[in-house]
Structure 1
Amino acid sequence: MTAEIDEQPDILAGLVEHRGDIAEVARAIAASPPRFALLAARGSSDHAALYAKYLIEVLLGLPAGLVSPSATTLYGARPDLRDVLLISVSQSGGSPDLLEVTESARKQGALTVAVSNTPSSRLFSAAELAVDVRAGEEHAVAATKTYTATLLALYLLIDAVRGGSGEDVRDIGELARRTLDGSRAGIGRAVDRYRFAGRVLAAARGYSYATALEASLKLAETSYLATRAYSGADLLHGPVAAVDEETAVLAVTSKGRGGAAMGEVLGAVAERGADVLTVGSAASDMPGALHIDVPETAEEVAPVLEVLPVQRLALGLSLARGGDPDNPRGLRKVTKTR
């Protein structure tokens, strides 16, 4: 896990260099403009799909939704998907339910795109179009480099559909290296502070909500922490009542509308005595016990960088709590569901 976290700056830079391959897929999508977009995924890829949902709705102005695979696999639903874009996101390309969803959607008239780190997978051949996230083989059970590469690949795809050139991610590899190097000391302090935590909430708004969900998953699967992730808005709609002095809150707050909307949320949890760690380019602007700053980017790109310190935090907490992040109990690298 340590080695694969450290590979990410080079992987992200390489993906930008090969964005021409992604632009070809984008041109095919733009040639047949969809009226709606659907995204199918599981696990960490589901968080990447949620990120893409925001990108599609905000940058392309299209309605977008997340597929419930069981509607196809368990209940046999076959909706009319003419003029619909289906993007299936799977790091391994090995989940039977996503394969079935993709095959079914194609038969029902959807334009299907597979986004995966495994070009040899059946998912790649099942879809009409495919995007290779080019992260290289990932050995750690906890996805790190495949997650950030998937985020960047989805951004490059959607940006290219709208006619963009990827300008906002031109230096993403360098920014990722600065993020990892610059957050090392802060992560050390956070590990010391939260190694005995019993309950953690992760929260964010907008594009960064995907990062909060991924943070929750990483802490649960590597450190066995009881974690929950909420949109900051949803947190205020009820769950904030359970926040007290025994609660650690990981708040993802990058500059932009989503990060600004977290001010009210953090004020509310601070009133209840929560111990707050803020991560992001707006981290130091927010109330909290600890702050881990991330280089500023366009808001829609921030999730690619925000998650890097979170990965290091999950790794550090796992080791500090006596765990083995490369062998989390009960987990395998590829989870096959239907």
Structure 2
Amino acid sequence: MFAEAAEAAEAVRTQHRANAALVAGIAARLRADLPAAILTCARGSSDHAATYAKYLIETRLGTLVASASPSVSSLYRAAPADARTCCLAISQSGRSPDLIATVEAARSAGAATLALVNAPDSPLGAAADMLLPLHAGPETSVAATKSYIAALAAIADLVAAWAQDDALGAALDGLPDRLAEAWQADWSPLVEQLAGARGLYVIGRGLGLGIAQEAALKFKETCGLHAEAFSAAEVRHGPMALVGPDFPLLVFRQSDETGAGIDALVAETLARGAPVLVAGDGPAGAIRLPSAVAHPAIEPILQIQSFYRAVNALSLRRGFDPDRPPHLRKVTETV
């Protein structure tokens, strides 16, 4: 896990160069035949990348994005897509039968279909009429790291080209170097704070919600630590009842419109006596984890890279083997 996460910067560099013409062509097609909605189709870490895609596409392009339930097609034999939609499937292996069934059903219904896959010669890659390889290279650790970052980078590349967003495009040109810097960030306070923890909430909002979901999954699968991900807005609707001195929060903060709401939540949580770790700037009293200020759309990508190094260390500190989580395997083929 450690070695593969460390390769993320070079994987993104390779992807950015290799996919330039392909991204431009797909973006031009989407502009020429603008879909009324995007249906995302993914599982696990890839579904967390789909959450990022939802916020990025809706805020940069104003196109509705909804998550498709794969069982609707694989078990119930229904096709929620039509010719006005585009089905976006995201997968590391491209071998899960329910994702393949969803893309095939969408394509049969007349929808455009796009697969972001690390294995371009996979069945999922063959099922879609557009393919964007992730170029993450082999990933053998059960816990996805560089393939998740590669998926985020591919989504951001596509949206920048589709929206003709020069500022985001320029930020993505420098993303590999920023990822290499993020890998060196010292998040050891997270290891110290959570070494004996029994559970926590992981908080994000907007573009940061997808990485909060991803971090919560990594706590569970590599550290045996129960974690739930919430939006900074949604956590106030009931879940805050658990927060207190023995129930910490990890908060991902971006330097965008969500910052003020995040800060208010952190201040409220600190007043309850709960420990709060904040990636990015945060109110006094929070345990701050270094996070570079960058284009708001790439800040989550940098933060999750720093997190991967820290959670690997936390796993070892808690007596786990991050490369061999119990009861899990690399490829999960759901129907």
Structure-2 separation of matches of 1:284 and 1:33: 38
Q: 1:78–1:21: structure 2 CA closer, same or farther, 3 Å change rule?
A: closer
1:80 deviation in Å?
Answer: 5.0
Q: Secondary structure at the match of 1:153?
A: helix
Structure-2 separation of matches of 1:45 and 1:12: 16
Give structure 2 stretches of 5+ with no counterpart.
Answer: none
Contact 2:270 2:286 in 1 (8 A): no
**Paired residues, what number?**
332
Q: Which string of whole-angstrom CA distances, capped at 9 and with x for unpartnered residues, describes residues 143-186 of structure 1?
A: 000000000001111211112352121111111111111x13xx
Match of 2:87? 86
Q: Secondary structure at the match of 1:179?
A: helix
Q: Percent sequence identity over matched residues?
A: 36
1:223 aligns with 2:227: no
Q: TM-score, normalised by structure 1?
A: 0.95
Amino acid at match of 2:82: L
Amino acid at match of 1:213: Q
1:334 aligns with 2:334: no
Amino acid at match of 1:79: P
Amino acid at match of 1:191: V
Over aligned residue pairs, what C-alpha RMSD do you find?
1.3
Contact 1:198 1:226 in 2 (8 A): yes
Contact 1:81 1:109 in 2 (8 A): yes
1:132 deviation in Å?
Answer: 0.4
Larger CA deviation: 92-101 vs 309-318: 309-318
Q: Secondary structure at the match of 1:309?
A: helix
Structure-2 separation of matches of 1:240 and 1:218: 22
Match of 2:53? 52
Match of 1:238? 238
Amino acid at match of 2:89: S
Amino acid at match of 1:142: A
1:327 deviation in Å?
Answer: 0.3
Match of 1:145? 146
Match of 2:178? 175
Match of 1:98? 99
Q: TM-score, normalised by structure 2?
A: 0.96
Matches within 5 A, 1:18-29: 18=18, 19-29=20-30
1:271 deviation in Å?
Answer: 1.7
Structure-1 separation of matches of 2:282 and 2:269: 16
Match of 1:41? 42
Amino acid at match of 1:174: D
Q: Secondary structure at the match of 1:265?
A: helix
Structure-2 separation of matches of 1:336 and 1:45: 14
Contact 1:278 1:288 in 2 (8 A): no
Match of 2:254? 254
Contact 1:278 1:290 in 2 (8 A): yes
1:288 deviation in Å?
Answer: 4.3
Q: Secondary structure at the match of 1:77?
A: coil
Q: 1:176–1:108: structure 2 CA closer, same or farther, 3 Å change rule?
A: same
Match of 2:273? 273
Match of 1:108? 109
Larger CA deviation: 112-121 vs 295-304: 295-304
1:304 aligns with 2:322: no
Q: Secondary structure at the match of 2:298?
A: helix
Give structure 1 stretches of 5+ with no counterpart.
Answer: none
Match of 1:315? 312
1:265 deviation in Å?
Answer: 1.1
